[in-house]
Amino acid sequence: MNTTSNKRLNKKSKNILELTVSYAIIAIMFVIILYPLLWALGLSLNPGRGLYGASIIPENWSLEHYKWLFFDPRSNYLTWYKNSLIVAVATSFFATFIVCLVAYAFSRYRFKGRKNGLYAFLLLQMFPVLMAMVALYILLSTVNLLDTLIGIIIVYVGGAVPMNAFLVKGYFDTIPRELDESAKIDGAGHFRIFFTIMLPLAKPILAVVALFNFMAPFMDFILPRIVLRSPENYTLALGLFNFVNDQFSNNFTRFAAGAILIALPISLVYLFLQKYLITGLTSGATKG
């Protein structure tokens, strides 16, 4: 009896210890993530411009920086916001649609070069995007798409295909082929199978692809910095950079206010797609 009781106590103590360690790790990660966000929010509410003298909880908080971004005639913030939304929505839509078509072809059809194509997708993921910047600049210059939103959308969509197509292809592989065969017996063609069977069943992974491609234009700075020249064509990341880069405009508080507002569209899209995201993030890992 004593041995059994000791084993139960040891097991219970072990479970409590594991639970405590898990909660401690979660608490540490929460602080690491939350602390910079609180600083950004507090900084955006501080009057003045500089970092020195600012506090995470301002005594005399003010919304003057938010008012300046939206209502001051010298501010191009709304233009940058509109540009970022256009690029993000277009990239998310076209990238998701093209990725679905490519992934469906690789998942359901057998054709010459299929295996080499899959290897090419894996190979393209191994190289950093910076390696292609010179080539992309020359390509966009050749087709007169430098300093245009269309040019940057094309680059984002093209760059999204390799990794996401491989991911979605893995998810499509988990959908039974018997569904396709049943639909073909009922007279359904390839496109009808794709739109009425495959896409509805693949909503979780499509939500992940759509969200990631929506977020990318808001976060990326390097490509817009290289491609865009006119202030009226800037995206948010590039426009906000000028708040802290110009020699006489080191306005960190205004930068923080603009950065906080970037989270709004991403959060709305996340909330809209959240019921699909958990399933989608844990799927699509199979290889074919």
User: Same structural domain for residues 85 and 174?
Assistant: yes
Length, in residues, of the chain: 288
Q: How far is CA 284 from the centre of its chain?
A: 17
Q: Is the domain of 132 the same as that of 261?
A: yes
Residues 8-25: pLDDT tens digits? 656 677 778 778 888 899
Asked if 94 and 208 sit in the same domain, the reply is yes
| pLDDT score recorded for residue 156 | 93
Residue 258 CB partners (closer than 8 Å, separation 6+): 69, 77, 236, 239, 240, 243
Biggest alpha carbon distance in the chain? 83
The least confident of 4-18, 182-196, 236-250 is: 4-18
Q: Domain ends where: 23, 44, 65?
A: 65
| CA gap 242, 250 in Å, rounded | 8
How much is the pLDDT for 4?
Answer: 63
pLDDT tens digits along 188-233: 777 888 888 888 888 888 888 999 999 988 888 889 999 998 888 9
Residues 91 and 174 in one domain: yes
| Token code pair at residue 31 | 């602080």
How many CB atoms are located within 10 Å of the residue 233 CB?
19
Rounded-to-integer distance, Cα 184 and Cα 108, Å: 13
Give the mean model confidence (pLDDT) for residues 83-106. Answer: 93
Q: How many domains does the chain have?
A: 2
Alpha-carbon Rg of the chain, whole angstroms?
Answer: 25
Q: Say yes or no: 25 and 130 in one domain.
A: no
Instruction: Check pLDDT > 90 for residue 98.
Output: yes
In CATH, what number is assigned to the domain containing residue 160?
1.10.3720.10
Q: Among the three residues 44, 65, 86, which one is the final residue of a domain in this structure?
A: 65
Residue closest to 259 by CA, chosen among 233, 237, 227:
237
Judge whether 280 and 207 are in contact, CB under 8 Å. Answer: yes
Residues 6+ apart with CB under 8 A from 57: 42
CB contact at 8 A, 156 and 91: yes
Confidence of residue 6 (pLDDT cuts 50, 70, 90): low
- 95 with 185, same domain: the answer is yes
Q: What range defines the domain where residue 190 resides? A: 77-281
Do 171 and 53 fall within a single domain? no
Evaluate whether residue 71 is within a structural domain. no
Report the 10 Å Cβ neighbour count for 161. Answer: 17
Regarding whether 117 and 57 lie in a shared domain, the answer is: no
| Section 259-271 average pLDDT | 86
* 273 and 214 together in one domain: yes
Three-state secondary structure string covering the chain? CHHHHHHHHHHHHHHHHHHHHHHHHHHHHHHHHHHHHHHHHHHHHCCCCCCCCCCCCCCCCCCHHHHHHHHCCCCCHHHHHHHHHHHHHHHHHHHHHHHHHHHHHHHHCCCCCHHHHHHHHHHHCCCCHHHHHHHHHHHHHHCCCCCCHHHHHHHHHHHHHHHHHHHHHHHHHCCCHHHHHHHHHCCCCHHHHHHHHHHHHCHHHHHHHHHHHHHHHHHCCHHHHHHCCCHHHCCHHHHHHHHHHCCCCCCHHHHHHHHHHHHHHHHHHHHHHHHHHHHHHCCCCCCC
Identify whether the C-beta of residue 155 lies closer than 8 Å to the C-beta of residue 140.
yes
Of residues 73 and 210, more confidence is placed in 210
* 83 and 178 both lie in a single domain: yes
Residues 41 and 84 in one domain: no
